[in-house]
Structure 1
């Protein structure tokens, strides 16, 4: 074993391929042996290679990198990222960013928005004053009642996310689980300021009254699957497969589907959702539905209004539209027995401007309403790095004050209620979002939304023309008002050069390997034409085996 360790200690490491054990300074050698464990194998062979950035050039020996080594390593990485940025076309993020000149100063400042956005904190290095301005902006854009008022249950409550909409989905489902499970809310809406704790069975309830069931479509972002697992929320598939294995209402005697089926365009199938919801509502289960406003791959928009109307109607038949839950004091509290969450990672930041563009005749159509205009929308999330564009993931979560779950515990240390998912939150994200919104008017963003919609239509048209020219079905498709166009997966080097996201889609009984392109604001017709030119070349699309 000692001999093996010595051999591993001789593995070349760092920019100069120095044996690992010889990369230590005298202060880090104890009893003749380096501090820490040697590599168990050569990391250059263990990890996926990035040809433009050789791994040994960026390895970090205990001595660090000298000035020349650092300059070379950073130059390699910069060149790689700049090249990929120029061609970046396959994901729903905006890479045309220009924050450095205005906000570079803050990279040498610590900004941490720990705790509730609407409470001051003893941690004074925060950007909460900007965060509140950003949240008010989106509350108005999404037709919520604002400003936030802790005494008004109809006013909005929300916060700026550190992880993007994946965090917003996790928090929204957490809030939904606690609400539907009869757990405490932050305040009693009828008596502001008094904490309540629900725990009694609602009227006319059975054994499943506090056992919510989650529903989401097969086109839903993968973070939902992680969220329900982390939160221990039963999906209709899990509960149906274990308790009612032969009773799948969509096809009795067959296995339950893992998610709610989608339409051809990627929107949730409302009729099939209704069948599944009715099955569990009739057995007394509270209903938790997560919808997409711009699905990840197809960019589809679920009909939130139709779903909310359908779910409410079914729940009303089984006493789940409104039910009484008693708090610790014994007083009744009215809650619905269903929750509708909207994942608007891209769409919630984009379609309000497209709707404005439609209203002034700049575009013909816009997706259906998804926001707090609909009284049965309980929570909503959006990613800031997608439509607006930020250097890292961030976003917004929003609900109504009267629906807000109680914080899990006291937080005297930070001087503010611990109402958000994370403890520390990136205060720089609120600054970036504030900066972007301060510099772009509604008119600016309406024009930009119309331009991106036009670019998506242009891309769709060019790919259809290419398909006709090649005489081969490239499976070209664009869901209504989507910014993404999907098509047959081309050669691997083209996929990598343009960072085209891929997904296997089952159609006509066969598995199809698709990629898609997103018409974000950094993309141009010139770049689309360059891609089409490459796709036109012989061998661009490998023949199916």
Structure 2
């Protein structure tokens, strides 16, 4: 038991300190502790019963319905399931895209999450990396020039609705403009909205990335903004795409439409609990509070002379990379000379102030060394 306590204490302390990763900190699901003594398996399709009845598929369907609604659709037109996280959702979207066309080409920016390259390799999909702009958004000029070289091939556009490092959002209207300009008939649009999927529907101005605006599938993380003890996600796709890959599995009495067979039945329950308690208004409130803290963080960094910026109303504050010691203490993700702070729900103003104080001390020491 001492080993277990040691592990708990270590993770608990680390959870209170980190500022650089999109993991909400303000959740409490202790009421679901009794479920840890049960094996809950949502095997197969969430809309299809199975011979195994230890599931939460009814709850899972309600979760999918909620997300379909905030993405301007309904379960009449879209289908989805609760995944193990954003990577699985992206794999599923790309899988559906592959099954839709013969030998398509996937276009994605260099700011795209590292796991996408792995997914493309697993699916053996031809792909082209597009340059990114300085803010992390895809370079539309470069995309257009690459499209002209492969305009005879079906195109899969992998768009970021919030890139990993800068929370940049690719512009769906500009993508559709390129599609129209080059008369691309066969195309598929998948959106990676891992972090922003729960936020962007309520941002003003709202980025275009939902089903009414022409996407084919989308992946969202559940543990990043809503929060939870177990990584999870939601993938949604137009029902017609899902129907292309459906198979029946007789011995479990269900349909095979998901990446994995056995699926976590606890995470849908946790997501459903949040939705029941807070709903859309809860997401809006969380988003606004987090945006306010991000604005405060950006301002405080500027006040001490640190180069910093944010994309539009982003929760991610990009800043000059501090020392390795500070990056380690506050668990900041960094890339080249850039680091970021992500103001997720549960991040306290006092944590930001503590970081600012440490960074200011560091700058003072550096300044003294320079002038001495």
TM-score range, shorter-chain basis? over 0.9
- 2:138 aligned to 248, 255, 268, which one? 268
Name the structure 2 match of 1:493: 325
Q: Which of 78, 92, 97 is equivalent to 1:156? A: 78
Q: Kindly report which structure 2 residues correspond to 1:97-246, keeping only aligned pairs within 5 A, or say none.
A: 97-100=27-30, 102-144=31-73, 146-148=74-76, 155-162=77-84, 164-181=85-102, 211-236=103-128
Query: Would you say the 8 A contact 2:91–2:116 is kept in 1?
Result: yes
Q: What is the aligned length?
A: 368
Structure number with bigger Rg: 1
Correspondence list, 1:288-307, <5 A = 288-307=156-175
CA distance in 1, matches of 2:334, 2:307: 13
In the TM superposition, residue 408 of structure 1 has moved relative to its aligned partner by 7.0
Q: What secondary structure does 2:230 align onto?
A: coil
More helix by share: 2
User: Secondary structure of 1:129's match?
Assistant: helix
Report the RMSD for the aligned CA atoms in angstroms.
1.8
Relative contact order: is structure 1 or structure 2 higher (C-alpha 8 Å, sep ≥ 6)?
A: 2
User: Which residue among 281, 299, 304 is the counterpart of 1:466?
Assistant: 304
1:197-224 deviation per Cα after TM superposition (whole angstroms, max 9, x unaligned): xxxxxxxxxxxxxx21111011110111
d(CA) in 2 for partners of 1:460, 1:446: 21
- Please give the per-residue CA displacement for 1:77-123, whole angstroms capped at 9, x wherever unaligned: 122111111112100111222001x2111111111111111111111
The DSSP-based 3-state class of the residue aligned with 1:137 is helix
Q: Deviations over 1:424-447 (max 9, x none)?
A: 110111001001111103223212
Question: TM-score, normalising length from structure 2?
Answer: 0.94
Using the size of structure 1 for normalisation, the TM-score is 0.65
* Aligned partner of 1:346 among 195, 199, 203: 195
Aligned: 1:366 with 2:205:
yes
| 8 Å CA contact retained: 1:274, 1:311 | no
Unaligned 5+ residue runs, structure 2? 368-372
1:420 to 236, 258, 276: 258
Name the CA distance, whole Å, in 2 between partners of 1:541 and 1:366.
Answer: 42
Query: Once the 2 structures are TM-superposed, how far is the Cα of residue 278 of structure 1 from its aligned partner?
Result: 2.2
Q: Is the 8 A contact 2:200 2:207 kept in 1?
A: no
Matches within 5 A, 1:376-391: 377-391=215-229
Structure 2: distance between partners of 1:175 and 1:132: 20
The 1:496–1:438 alpha-carbon spacing in structure 2 relative to 1, beyond 3 Å, is: same
Aligned equivalents of 2:66, 2:118: Cα separation in 1: 30
Deviations 1:37-93 (A, max 9, x none): xxxxxxxxxxxxxxxxxxxxxxxxxxxxxxxxx2x2122212211111111210011
* Superposition misfits of 4+ residues, deviation over 3 angstroms: 405-410, 538-543
